[in-house]
Structure 1
Amino acid sequence: AFAGYVLIAALLLVLFRKLILIRIQYENDIKLERIKRENTEHLNRAKLQFFTNISHEFRTPLTLILGPIEKLVNSGDGGNVIQQQLRVVANNASRLQRLINQLLDFRKADAGNLDLRIAEGNFYKFLKEIKLSFDALAADKNIKFTLNASSNVIDLYFDRDQMEKVVFNLLSNAFKHVSPEGEVAVQLLEHETFVQLVVLDNGVGIPAAEIDKVFERFFTGENKSATDSGIGLALCKSLVELHHGTIRVESQEQVATRFIVDIPKGKDHFDDNQIIEDFKDSEDVSKYVEYAFDRTNVEQETNRQYRKDISELSRILVVEDNDQVRSFIKSIFQYDYVVLEAENGDEGFAVALEENPDLILSDVMMPIVDGFTLCSRLKQDLNTSHIPIILLTARTSYIYQVEGLEKGADDYITKPFSPEILKLKVKNLLQSREQSRQLAQSNSSLTIEPKKITVTSADEIFMNQAIELVENNISNSEYTVVEFGKDIGLSRMQLYRKLKAIAGLSPNEFVRMMRVKRSAQLLEQGDYNVSEVTYQVGFTDPTYLRKCFKQQFGMTPSEYAKSHKKSV
């Protein structure tokens, strides 16, 4: 019996030792796991700190790059080819700036230093305008892109700038991974205590093993794009959680992926210092009182402006569905310009065709036809493609600096806007177009270069056709404006408006200028006298050529020929 007890005791001792070893191993495993987790966390913090520090260093030279590039793009210099290359540079520089800002935002959110500015607003309307900015990308890729909501008025307390980044990142991610002719859908559902946003795409999907990792910082995954940074979704998660919401993902490879964001309703979960109590949205005209400007100088100049012949004033078309905002914009410009009005994009397009304004200011969010669609229609129509357009948007420029979203707008301005800034943008655009017209009439070159005086490809094609038609008929003194218009496919009035807008000349003046410049080219060659040149360029009377030549060059054809010979 004693031996049996000894054996049992020995077994218990062995078992006890084994249990101790197992516990020690377990504790070591936990410790190692903790150390591994801490090391990973430390590595991630080190990465973030490194990228944050270097991002701050990048911002100054990047700003110095973007400034001159923006000026070159806005100037329109260099023609379409150069402008396209400049836009590529600008788009990529802007993308780099977005990545830097994402890192800095993520760092602030991670450290709890990102302050929210919360105000109540219609979340459906907020989403609708962001969707509009992606419509062009969807059309380019032939992707079905829809927005469905349980109501067109869904009130929610949220920070517009930060939530814009969430939606932007989710949509960019969806478009990045969906195939051409695929589908991206946005769903907005209002529940009793929360609002749910769903972004769905039927793209490549996410492997099951990666589902739990997609919101980890710097994680890019198996189906990563060359442009993935691993920050976007992590930033989304941080910003959603700052709104006391949740974000999750459901995915089946090669079938569909759904990102689901739930944001609680009400404002009790936010701190008082995060709430903007007196918030007014961009459609509330009283918001613009904050940007009121001194009108004393304007009033003093009123009589001087109205003494001008009204035909000398530039014409601005304001397309805005909000009557009060439209009246406010009109009040800004009515002393310096002829102001035309339209309530929506469809009416705006009709007014633009009929009145041929010098510049168009258009809201983005409008019923019937939105501002983006209006902009596309205007730039694609030969009758209106030359008209500069400024789009007014309630969203920040963040969502418009994505390659592929360019709709042809010459500039964007965020509502509510400063009247002085808007006036300067309008003035600069009109001056830029006037400089292009002067360049077309300049004697610095005896040939007209369409790429230097046009902004859109449609206008460049038009000018090339116009120049070719006149050159082909340069010696035909009976070539009329009616025939000119018929050959180019425009009525006499359409041709007049188009040439006047681009070159600052009527069709008759344009043909005459080209004949005179060709006569100067022939005189420079020295092979023909003035009488011979007269008939070669389509003039029937040397005296009339002499008159036109002196108006263009400030000297007679004979004097021009002599001065050229002396300089050889």
Structure 2
Amino acid sequence: EDEEAHLPLKKYIEIKVSDTGIGLDDQQIERIFDRFYQINNDITRNQAGTGVGLHLTRSLVELHHGTIIARNRTDVQGSEFIIRIPQGSDHLKMEELEQPDTTTSENNPTITTTTTSEQPVKTTEETETEKKIKSKSNFHILIADDEKEILNYLKNELSADYKIHTCNNGREAYEYLLNNPTDLLISDVMMPEMDGMTLCKKIKQNANINHIPVILLTAKGRPEEQVEGIEIGADSYLIKPFNIEVLKSTIGNLLSNRRLLKNKFSGAQEQSDKVQNIQLKSADEVLMNKIMKVINENLSEPTLNVEMLANSVGLSRVHLHRKLKELTNLSSRDFIRNIRMQQAAKLLKEKKLTISEVAYAVGYNNLSHFSKTFKEYFGLSPKEYMQNAHEENATENDIIEE
């Protein structure tokens, strides 16, 4: 029994929430305010929840120097939560108080907001801090999760540093990414309509948005799931419950790496001596030449896949994935697919082969699979692509004749 619950309420406000449920055991009472902790029993097992709500409640109560406790009721079966917050503001520090406008009249004690054209003078330290915040907040981050509590929690944690946008499922997220500039995606794995794995795969297969770093969040930590996530192109894979500081560091690193990669291939050569040389190291050049040689020699073989490529260049699948991700920002699977698609487009433009022959020439023995992959990559079916190429050639010929 919490002794604080019997203190006089003269200077406190008490809020009590009670139920007539099955009650709480000692372990649940001890951990119920931990972030992401969820009670697992026959009643709660099928109920949606994330384990964020009570942790957030305690954080808000503690901001006001209050306390919150959970305990079992003594009058009937059930549990109760007791919140106690000190009255007034004497217990708060100056920096915790909202400062009233100094222009408020002495005769009117009500705090009012006054608009003035004069801006307060900022110190050098404040200016530098604001510059850093402004620099970070130029990044747009999309969060996809079907749990509102998780969305709100992450938005609250990250919105001070970044522009945050949210979606409730993978399909909405994919549509958003196609139509809005986005610097990074944080996605839950288990979602309705389109799960996080499928979303990540579609992103990495789309040439217009495959540069966007993807962080997958999941409550399941099976190694095979993590391997699948990495193989389809996820840049990071965090298991719930995760440390918010780890997530923030991961976001910072991915955005920083993305910026460096952009600089490498943007053509902006005039950079300070502090920036590393943008040329590939000789060892990387040798590796890329080996990789391209294997792919070109086996492009028409349906057996050309990540495992075959890794074995041929003498690397493990994981090591190959890391190197290609570092050098091209693509997963091994997507790198092979992209080369196949680019070669297919070249052959279709030449119009010397039928669509079926082109599919076989780039390693697809299933025409339907080839057409689907081609459309995902270029946004056009092979037939539409050929027609467009033919029309472009006809237009060019007309211009030449004129």
TM-score (norm 1): 0.29
Which structure: greater helix fraction?
1
TM-score (norm 2): 0.40
* Higher RCO (CA 8 Å, separation ≥ 6 residues): 1
